[in-house]
Each structure stands twice: as structure tokens, then as C-alpha cells.
Amino acid sequence: MIEAGDFRKGVTVEIDGKVYIIVDFQHVKPGKGAAFVRAKIKNVVTGQVLEQTFNPSDKYPLAHIERKDMQYSYNDGDLYYFLDMESYEMIPLNYDVCAEALKYIKEEMMASVQFYKGAAFSVEAPNFVELVVAETEPGVQGDTSKAGNKPAKLETGTAIQVPLFVNQGEKIRVDTRTGTYMERVKFFWSNFCRNQIKFNMSKMSSIQSPNSFFCFLIIFNKYL
């Protein structure tokens, strides 16, 4: 148990059968009347934020939130399966529990699953993920200026804004906390790069010159 007068940021408590995290608090001592605690609390399940006043001597049960790093495996209908990497137990979760995380994670990616009293209630994507741009308008080759953005759809189906120079098929780093583009990721072993290099290597094979190796380096560097 914890008294409201001992509230601190980040503490999780059970209030009226629901679990809240203390976002902010303030001890108030009015000129007249009894002192009280004004707190901003967030429902860990729904995300709803409330402002509420408490008697400093009121007591509330502490809520222990367990976090596990689990791997998203696959979905079957409305169920999404996450693998416990320690016990190898597969846990099915409803879409509404992991909807936010699914915007930024795909199969075989890790996520943080939160449990309360043994039941999973929330899934958080890593702060940063690397995903392929599935759809966007073509960029201007050689234009790496950051002036202006355009819409793009990631391979998970989520839409974000990206700089004008980003092209379809490129991998980018995304901040999942804000849903913002961070940078392009150079990935040689993607299908896109493999196909492009194979195509250019086939053209290069007809070059009968001691400089063929340097031609390959030029092509290789183009897709790094």
C-alpha cells in the first residue's frame, strides 16, 4: 500500500479496480482547509489521463507491472501471437491489446509486452524500428535536401511523412514514439538491392576490360 502523500512520478497504483501510473503530482496547502494532493494519473490500459485530488492519508494498493520482451510471430484472424523467448510459450493477444505496436512491428520483431496479475494488457514497439517504404511518390535523384515532406506507407501499412528524396523500396529508421522519420538505412541485403546488383552485374559481364572491377565498385556503391 502507498499513501497519496507519498505519490511519486512513475509509481503505479490501483484505484477503483483500475491501474494508473502517476504522471505528475503536487502537494497543495491552501490558506484554509486541509492539505491535499493534486495528481495527474494515466490509465495504463486505455491511456486516458485524469486530474484528481487525493487526501494525503488515503492508501492505495501498489500495482506491479511486469514487462517481457517478446517476439511477434504471426496472426491468425483476430489473434496475434507473441513468443516468450525464455519459456518459448506462444501467447495469443487480441488486436486491441497490440494495435498501437502493430503500426511499427512486423513478424519476428521484438516488442515489450506488459502484464498485470498475469494478464497482458499492452504491447509497446521498440523506440526505433527499421522498415521498408512500401509506397510513396518517386523522389528526385540526387536531391537530399530536407526541405519539404511527402506521405509514405510503410511495409506494416502505417502512413508517415518522409523527406522528398526518399524512394519506394528504401529502408528507413522511424521513431515509434512520435511516428516520425529519422534517417535512411543503407541495407545491401534487401531484395531490392540484390535484384538491382544482379541486373547490373549481368551488364558488367560483357565488359572486357581490366577496369571491370572498378565498374563493379561503382555499381556496388550506388546501392549502399
Terminal-residue alpha carbon distance, the chain: 56
For the cut 70, the answer to whether the pLDDT of residue 221 exceeds it is: no
Residues paired with 170 in a beta bridge: none
Q: From CA 205, how far away is CA 208, in angstroms rounded? A: 8
Domain boundaries, the chain: 2-60, 65-124, 128-185, 191-222
- The CATH number of 65-124 is which of 3.40.50.970, 2.60.40.1240, 2.40.50.140, 2.60.120.10? 2.40.50.140
pLDDT tens digits along 151-192: 999 999 999 999 999 999 999 999 998 999 999 997 544 455
**Are the C-beta atoms of residues 127 and 164 closer than 8 Å to each other?**
no
CATH architecture of residue range(s) 2-60: Roll (2.30)
Q: What rounded mean pLDDT belongs to the chain?
A: 83
> In 10 A of CB 193, how many CB atoms?
19
CATH architecture of residue range(s) 128-185: Beta Barrel (2.40)
The two domains 2-60 and 128-185 share their CATH topology (first three levels equal): no
- The predicted model scores a pTM of 0.66
Mean pLDDT of 205-218: 50
pLDDT tens digits along 4-34: 999 988 888 999 888 898 989 999 988 888 8
More confident residue, 48 or 152: 152
